[in-house]
Amino acid sequence: MSGVVLYSVISLTAMGAAFGLGLALAARKFAVERDERVEKIEAMLPGANCGGCGYAGCIGFARALVEGKASPYDCAPSGIETANAIADLLGLQKVEKTPRVAVVACRGGKRVPTKITYGGVRTCQAVTLLADNLRECPYGCIGLGSCVEVCPFDAIKIIDDVAVVEDEKCTGCGMCVEACPKQIISLVPKTKKVRIACSSHDRGKAVKAICDVGCIGCGLCAKNCPVGCIEMQDNLAVIDYERCINCGICAAKCPTKSIIDKVSHRPKVLIDSKCTGCGECKKVCKFNAIEGEPGERHKVILEKCIGCGLCGDVCPEKAISIAGALGHQSEN
């Protein structure tokens, strides 16, 4: 009888060993290899988790870089030195300065009433010899495509009588800037996704009378900018791109949407159980998107959150995390 018991024990032990070996082999076969470069790149990034790159936090951006889906120069807070260091790590070509892209400071086009009927030479330059514009706004895009004609990369199209730049194709050569007689095209760093899309210097009442997407000089963007990089100059908002952090607050606050946010899907944020209810996040939120009593765990009102990331920067307990690029979507 004891022999039978011993045999049974040995059999069960053998079966257990075989089963364990099978699990080990299966785990090895189906294991997802971890690329150490992701952790290295994440450590090099600023850790702001602002979502300005279009990915869910710095870790999401790091994965996208390793997978070849993003450029090291897509992270504005990193700066050129860090971007170049990441390019070195990934074996990518470095640049001496941040790539630039052409930006048309107008979204008027067909939104603006026609002023004159024109049958002459179909160039923007020809129009300016006869009148300030074809439409009521004297500052806006003429829309006849002189910029389109000179672009060697097919990066500009006329849509609804206004020039629109495709960032992916634009190389920042500047030929369109020289061709525009209204001087409303400029080159900005490609990493800067928040841009002024108006050139009018008229007062708010005059702008509203002819264009529903023009800057009315209300100053809300300047008042709400957390780094003070926006100034009102002659009734028009102007961004200092050297200081801009791509938070998107100005675009979300702009009542006429004359500031556009090229980060189409910003992440939301969540507050985890480490929250002590200190309220620092609540103080900096410009959209009243955080609620909670002092000393109690706070929570984010997702419908109001635009994913600017300011709350995460001030949280002493690091209790705020990115919840994915599912949030604020702006019209481009």
Domain boundaries, the chain: 36-90, 100-189, 192-262, 269-322
| 281 contacts 302 by C-beta, under 8 angstroms | no
Query: What's the mean per-residue pLDDT of the chain?
Result: 87
More confident site: 21 or 213: 213
Domains 36-90 and 192-262 fall in the same CATH topology: no
Partners of 290 in beta bridges: 300
> Does residue 10 carry a pLDDT above 60?
no
pLDDT of residue 119: 85
pLDDT of residue 94: 84
pLDDT of residue 332: 43
pLDDT of residue 138: 96
> Does residue 6 carry a pLDDT above 70?
no
Give the integer Cα–Cα distance in Å for 63 and 42.
Answer: 9
Q: Does domain 192-262 have CATH number 3.30.70.20?
A: yes
Q: What is the pTM of this model?
A: 0.72
> Does residue 104 carry a pLDDT above 70?
yes
| 194 contacts 239 by C-beta, under 8 angstroms | yes
Q: Give tens-digit pLDDT for 107-141.
A: 999 999 999 988 889 999 999 988 889 999 999 99
Single-letter code of the amino acid located at 215: C
CATH number of 269-322: 3.30.70.20
Rounded to an integer, what is the distance from CA 25 to the centroid of its chain?
Answer: 43
Token pair belonging to 320 = 């705020």
Partners of 165 in beta bridges: 156
Report CA Rg, the chain: 27
Q: Give tens-digit pLDDT for 185-226.
A: 999 999 899 999 999 999 999 999 999 999 999 999 999 999
What CATH topology corresponds to 100-189? Answer: Alpha-Beta Plaits (3.30.70)
> Does residue 263 carry a pLDDT above 70?
yes
pLDDT of residue 67: 93
CATH number of 36-90: 1.10.15.40
